[in-house]
């Protein structure tokens, strides 16, 4: 699976903090039920259980960063500390312990493990969303059996809610469809099941396209969209000093990029309170391919 996890450096923030194992401090509102944490300030900290000590085994935690206003578009994170158990068996996909952004697909592009201290990330709120949700999982592995028992496995993420999500993280623009006068490449999808595809599929898609597929959540009991690739053929990624780069791609805005020839099946989860979610297809000025045909179903169990 080919994807790019985009990184944006954060400006320095001065804020109070609250952690899973800590007390509520000024400028933060903390609501806790088990290992559920809701953060309701424009900026602050998100800490691992038992921070600053290593997190314990057997934890599943849910963090909701509240969207305080409809004008807020996303959240930036800076990892002041981010060291999560990663074993040789994990390979390129975190399977032992991880911290993840619940609403991002492909999931591999938003699951974090290993030592990522100093990294920065940015994610968008979905339409109508009330919060951005992160999930933390630690296995039942005995702390003495961790890859390096002398290391403190823990995290502290500094976050800031954004009013401006420009650049690569902005909501995608919509282009016209070549040869179709007055038709923009936007598709509104209220259906519970069906398929989406690139313009002119199964013929090759055009150059310089920006298409938006906006799924409408039929009711609040629907938790996500199960998506399966019937055909997926975009321009393959090119190698750069920073990894693979997609010239033509499909993405959930703010999440990983998909390109090349691939098969997948996943569930794209709605953020809390979201009324919909968008996917963005982009093609550049060269090297078209057949495109994609993706079957979907809006589901009650995620």
Structure tokens at 74: 């996303």
Please answer whether residues 105 and 3 qualify as being in contact, where contact means their C-beta atoms are separated by less than 8 angstroms: no
DSSP 54: P
CATH 3.40.50.2020 fits 30-166, yes or no: no
Q: Specify the pLDDT at position 172.
A: 72
Please give the average pLDDT of every successive group of 10 residues along the chain, which has 302 residues: 32 33 36 76 96 95 96 95 95 92 86 95 94 96 93 98 75 82 91 97 95 96 97 89 81 88 95 96 92 98 93
Domain ranges of the chain: 30-166, 171-299
Q: Specify the pLDDT at position 30.
A: 41
Q: How far apart are CA 14 and CA 41, in angstroms?
A: 13
CATH 3.40.140.10 fits 171-299, yes or no: no
Q: How far apart are CA 261 and CA 250, in angstroms?
A: 12
Q: Specify the pLDDT at position 109.
A: 74
Q: Specify the pLDDT at position 36.
A: 94
Q: Specify the pLDDT at position 255.
A: 87
Count Cβ atoms within 10 A of the Cβ of residue 285 and give its class: 0-12 exposed, 13-18 middle, 19 or more buried. Answer: exposed
Q: Is 167 left (phi over 0), alpha (psi -120 to 50) or beta?
A: left
Q: Specify the pLDDT at position 124.
A: 92
Q: Specify the pLDDT at position 243.
A: 63
Same fold, 30-166 and 171-299: yes
Q: Which residues pair with 55 in a beta bridge?
A: none
């Amino acid at each position: 699976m080919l994807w790019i996890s985009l990184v944006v450096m954060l400006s320095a923030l001065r804020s109070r903090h609250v952690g899973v194992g800590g007390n509520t401090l000024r400028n933060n509102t903390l609501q806790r039920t088990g290992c559920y944490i809701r953060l309701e300030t424009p900026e602050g900290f998100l800490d691992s259980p038992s921070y600053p000590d290593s997190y314990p085994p057997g934890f599943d935690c849910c963090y909701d960063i509240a969207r305080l206003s409809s004008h807020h578009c996303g959240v930036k994170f800076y990892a002041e500390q981010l060291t999560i158990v990663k074993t040789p068996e994990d390979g390129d996909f975190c399977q032992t312990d991880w911290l993840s952004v619940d609403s991002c697909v492909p999931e591999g592009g938003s699951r974090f493990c290993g030592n990522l201290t100093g990294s920065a990330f940015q994610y968008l709120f979905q339409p109508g969303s009330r919060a951005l949700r992160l999930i933390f999982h630690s296995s039942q592995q005995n702390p003495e059996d961790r890859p390096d028992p002398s290391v403190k496995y823990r995290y502290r993420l500094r976050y800031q809610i954004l009013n401006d999500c420009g650049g690569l993280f902005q909501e995608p623009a919509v282009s016209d469809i070549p040869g179709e006068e007055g038709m923009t490449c936007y598709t509104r999808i209220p259906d519970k099941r069906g398929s989406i595809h690139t313009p002119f599929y199964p013929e090759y898609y055009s150059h310089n396209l920006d298409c938006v597929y906006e799924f409408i959540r039929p009711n609040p009991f629907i938790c996500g969209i199960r998506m399966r690739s019937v055909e997926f053929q975009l321009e393959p990624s090119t190698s750069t000093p920073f990894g693979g780069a997609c010239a033509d791609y499909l993405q959930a805005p703010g999440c990983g990029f998909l390109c090349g020839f691939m098969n997948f099946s996943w569930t794209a989860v709605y953020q809390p309170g979201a009324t919909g979610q968008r996917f963005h297809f982009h093609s550049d000025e060269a090297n078209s391919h057949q495109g994609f045909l993706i079957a979907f179903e809006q589901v009650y169990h995620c």
